[in-house]
Amino acid sequence: MKYLAALCCFAVSGAAWADTRIAYTVEGSCPTFADSIEISGSRMRIDMRLDGMAMSSLFDGEEDTVTSLMHEQKQFHQTEVDEDAADYTADVMGSTMIYVDKQMDAAMAQMKKQCEQMKAQSRGRNVVSACDNMPDMRSMMESAMGPADQAKPEMRETGRQDAVAGGTCRWTEVWRGEHKLREQCDADIVSLPLPDGDRGSFARGVRVLMSYGDAMRPVVDRFGMADKDPIPVPPKGKITLAGACFDASGERVGRFAADIAVGPLDPQRFQVPADYSSMLQPEPQ
């Protein structure tokens, strides 16, 4: 793997390898993109909650794999990752969405044609059939994802900066129309007070994970997921160190801040628990 060459360069240059943990403390109601992030050499673990479900992502920079852990189900799914393949994945997803749209249009056209034939065969009689309430499959799929007619979130720079957890971050506000949803203070990962090795691994791990997240953008845009309240994911190359959330009246309803600690972590934290099974493994009969 090409990452091994980078590891050798770190070793030759005497880069320090230690373990780092970034944990978020939340007051009130204000979601963070992760509960905690742990880095140990070329490995990284991100603990998070998705719709209330506890999950973790393990990134192995030596093996170039990302493993998702679903803790409630005690299952895992592992994927080989390649930074260079993310653009290809995005192209595939974009083409897939175009194909899905064409297939839906063709199916709707066929249903409409069949309905017209049924009406012609009825010879003017008032025939009540499913055709009278034929559903629009495209609208059904989009409505399942929630309303997509609201204003898109807008990021606004404030020019303010703060010192948080030993790093310097800059404040950005997230607005939807006249409503400020949240504000967050983002810092460049390369500027964080981390051991050199951990800082490099952290930057690469986040870059790979976010590249694959971007590869799903055609699906997100197609079904209006981006029009929902924004998922608080930091911009590329950055980490959110602090933030606050606001309700429709502008009242602050919560806030959060990160704490960075350097010290040894249990190696088992970066491995799949022994009692977890693969999501792709067939269940016993």
pLDDT tens digits, residue range 92-145? Answer: 444 555 555 666 667 777 777 777 776 676 665 555 555 665 566 556 555 545
Secondary structure in 3-state letters for 92-157: HHHHHHHHHHHHHHHHHHHHHHHHHHHHHHCCCCCCCCHHHHCCCHHHHHHHHCCCCCCCCCEEEE
Find the range with the poorest average confidence among 102-116, 180-194, 207-221: 207-221
pLDDT of 3 strictly over 70: no
Q: Check residues 67 and 284 and name the one with the higher pLDDT.
A: 67
pLDDT of residue 70: 92
Give me the percent of the chain exceeding a pLDDT of 70.
63
pLDDT of residue 65: 86
Distance (Å, rounded) from C-alpha 141 to C-alpha 148? 12
pLDDT of residue 228: 52
Residue 186 φ then ψ, to 5°: -105, 140
pLDDT of 11 strictly over 80: no
Say if strands 277-278 and 75-80 run parallel, antiparallel, or are unpaired: parallel
Q: What is the mean pLDDT of the chain?
A: 76
pLDDT of residue 186: 95
Give me the percent of the chain exceeding a pLDDT of 90.
36
Q: Check residues 253 and 128 and name the one with the higher pLDDT.
A: 253
Contacts of 233 (CB under 8 A, 6+ apart): 33, 210, 213
Tokens of 97: 């969405």
Each residue's pLDDT tens digit, 54-103: 999 999 988 888 898 999 999 998 887 765 554 544 444 445 555 556 66
Alpha helices (H) along the chain: 2-13, 86-121, 137-144, 196-215, 217-222
pLDDT of 235 strictly over 70: yes
- pTM score of the predicted model: 0.68
Residue 280 φ then ψ, to 5°: -90, -5
